[in-house]
Chains A and B, each alone.
Chain A
């Protein structure tokens, strides 16, 4: 099986490819190619393929990085989504409306704004599998997703609690 040096190199390659928004299936293929080549030749992965970042760059001419405008739009829509949900939650707890909108308009509006970003994150967090065996090649990213979601929910509750306490 792979040595620990190869494992570290491969995990860095996964990170570099994920940063370049390469689909999970493609990452699995790339890792399996490297693994197969290194196992066959006994070469060091850095010697044969360069650093993980260099190799990711050479593979991703077809997977262009997202345009900055798209990243800004994604961040803004995510922030707006969070803001509407938070304001909606506060409006629900305190009663009344915000800018003429009741909580049952604010919260769904926020969730709707969060859908594109959520889908993109879910797509990025997909499991990388070995095309030879179907076995997972990376620690499950779903755990990270659950942790992030849990933290955000807890944070929302704390903010809502503070808002209620202040009124």
Chain B
């Protein structure tokens, strides 16, 4: 699973794709995305990191957003994936897996004791 000291650069690299993947699972809002990322082992992602990513994905046409009435609280901004977002997610996920496999092949595996 996720190691405790994952460099922030790694998180920064994978965050847009991970956020897109979470929104692609189901229409959701900022705080729920943060909770899902944490449950997925990526650690606590602060609002100041998350919302600019969501906004950038929306600006790129990969997500759409709409405000909905909250239950007894302020409204929530829900994000949904677009067709372009789903295509992007599929392509980039495949590329990511290829990339991590190649990188993994170059790195020593601590689990295979010699």
Chain B residues bordering chain A, tally (CB within 8 A): 18
Produce 1/0 per residue, A35-65, CB < 8 A to B: 1111111010001111000110011001000
Given B52, B70, B73, which contacts A58 in the complex, CB threshold below 8 Å? B52
Find chain A residues with CB under 8 A from B74 CB: 32, 35-36, 39-40, 132
Secondary structure of the A contact surface, majority rule: helix
Q: Which residues of B contact A132 (CB under 8 A)?
A: 67, 74-75
Contact between B31 and A41, CB atoms less than 8 A apart = yes
A7 at the interface (CB under 8 A from B): no
Asked if A48 contacts B48 (CB within 8 A), the reply is: yes
Chain A residues with CB below 8 A from B31, complex form: 37, 40-41
CA distance A37 to B47 in the complex (A): 7
Interface size on A, as a range, is 20 to 34
Interface residues of A (CB under 8 A from B): 29-30, 32-41, 43, 47-50, 54-55, 58-59, 62, 131-132
Could you list which residues of chain B lie within 8 angstroms of chain A, going by C-beta atoms?
29-31, 46-48, 51-52, 55-56, 59, 67, 70, 73-77
